[in-house]
Amino acid sequence: MYAVIKTGGKQYRVSPGDLLVVEKLAGEPGAEVSFDQVLMLGDGDVVTVGAPTVAGAAVTATLVETRKGEKVKIFKKIRRQGYRRTRGHRQHETVLRVTAIGDTKWDGVVDMTTKAELNARSRNLKLPEFAAKAEAAPAPAKKATKAKAVVTEEETIVAAEAPVVEAAAEAPKAKKAAAPKAAKADDAAPAKKAAPKKAAKKDTDEA
């Protein structure tokens, strides 16, 4: 079922459950709005046209939010005169969720999430007006991070003990390697002492 209603000097074709954006209407978010200027009703092949409105017909909607629409830029210019003017305008608009047309009602639930909040979620932003909702959500558990910390501590303990064991194993090898070097040094010492004796023998022969 559908209907054609008139509001704000414009006509809209609506059905139960439709999200409708119209000119600014008075009311707070969550308020119920009723339109009695129904120009036409349609139910399958049965169409009722008003003259100019259908008597006794009404469309009910829930007000979701009142906001500013997209910005429209106005640019003026007069050539060869150095005249340029740029202006911007954002029209106020109201967002509605159609809940009933006459006796035909919508079975869904009205979502009161605003467009600003949806845009913030899509960009992963935390705006001040939505911070309270984020704080109310329960914080995630940190059990996984604690388990990782225990594993890393054990790894560091094992890594710290490993060099000590390796050094203890290499200590006897170092002592064995140092002993032959000392023996070689002792063998070389007598050779240096014998050198002057040979020189003395040569002097005696020459004499």
Q: Chunk the chain into consecutive blocks of 10 residues (it has 207) and report each block's average pLDDT, rounded to whole numbers.
A: 95 95 95 95 92 93 96 98 98 96 93 91 79 62 52 53 54 54 49 51 50
Which CB contacts under 8 angstroms, 24+ apart, belong to 36-39? 37/5, 37/6, 37/7, 38/3, 38/4, 38/5, 39/4, 39/5, 39/6, 39/11
Question: What pLDDT is recorded for position 198?
Answer: 53
- Give dist(CA 62, CA 170) in Å, integer: 84
Question: What pLDDT is recorded for position 114?
Answer: 92
The C-alpha torsion from 3 through 7 and 10 to 13, rounded to 10°, is -20
Q: Which two tokens stand for residue 148?
A: 């990782």
Question: What pLDDT is recorded for position 83?
Answer: 98
Judge if pTM exceeds 0.75: no
Residue among 145, 60, 147 nearest 104 (CA): 60
- Give dist(CA 99, CA 110) in Å, integer: 8
Q: At a CB cut-off of 8 Å and minimum separation 6, what does 47 contact?
A: 40, 41
Question: What pLDDT is recorded for position 80?
Answer: 97
- Give dist(CA 10, CA 23) in Å, integer: 9
Asked whether 96 and 22 are in contact (CB, 8 A), the reply is yes
Question: What pLDDT is recorded for position 157?
Answer: 53
- Give dist(CA 167, CA 11) in Å, integer: 90
Asked whether 86 and 117 are in contact (CB, 8 A), the reply is no
Q: For 112, list phi and psi in degrees, rounded to 5.
A: -95, 15
DSSP 76-141: EEETTTTEEEEEEEEEEEEEEEEEEETTEE--S------HHHHHHHHTT---GGGHHHHHHSPPPP
The domain ranges of the chain are: 2-137
Question: What pLDDT is recorded for position 125?
Answer: 83
- Give dist(CA 96, CA 34) in Å, integer: 11
